[in-house]
Amino acid sequence: MSGRLFPAAPFVQLREDLRRRPPEGKTNQLTAAPSAAEGATMAKATDVRSGASAAERSRSAAETDEIRQALVARLAELQAEYDQSLSEITELQRERVADSAGDDQADTGTKTFEREQEITLANNLLERITQAERAIERLGTGNYGWCERCGNQIPVERLAAFPSATLCVSCKQLEERR
């Protein structure tokens, strides 16, 4: 597997576009007057984004297609890793059954530990597969790149680092504190 988990190229132009103009109905809080920022904060609780329209205005069809292709490619990589992990678990199980005669407690414990480690890795891969599938769904509905909790845009840098992100940095930090 390559060192880079997700190509950042589709996000470069998107990052520039998002910095230039906020989506419709939103205020760029870095350039807005303090009273507008306070009003935007109060409106967050009641502001419901209208489906795909605002998200589609902030990225072109070509950019959306590039993001989708990158997500699908990453999903295929994760599924291949998951299949490999399942075959390793199966092999460890076969070894445990076939070669356990005469093992002492340390050998049995080591084999159990290895198997549990592989199962944990497989579960982590399965969770990442689910996240990638969800990101593809959100891209199709126009919700990709928008925080599920507060409705603000997720920074492009965060999406480049973690393409399956569903929460902005602030909301994710709040979630992790709980």
pLDDT on residue 101 = 63
pLDDT on residue 104 = 72
Cα distance between residue 118 and residue 116, in whole Å:
5
Question: Could you give the C-alpha distances from 158 to 4, 50, 58, in angstroms and in order?
Answer: 15, 23, 16
User: pTM for the full model?
Assistant: 0.60
- Helix 61-98 to helix 9-20 angle (10° resolution) is 140
pLDDT tier for residue 76 given thresholds of 50, 70 and 90: very high
Domains of the chain, by residue range, sit at: 9-177
- Mean pLDDT along residues 169-178: 92
Q: In this predicted model, what pLDDT tens digit does every residue of 8-45 receive, in sequence order?
A: 444 444 444 444 444 444 444 333 333 333 333 333 33
pLDDT on residue 35 = 35
59: pLDDT strictly greater than 90? no
Cα distance between residue 172 and residue 170, in whole Å:
5
CATH code of 9-177, in short, is: 1.20.120.910
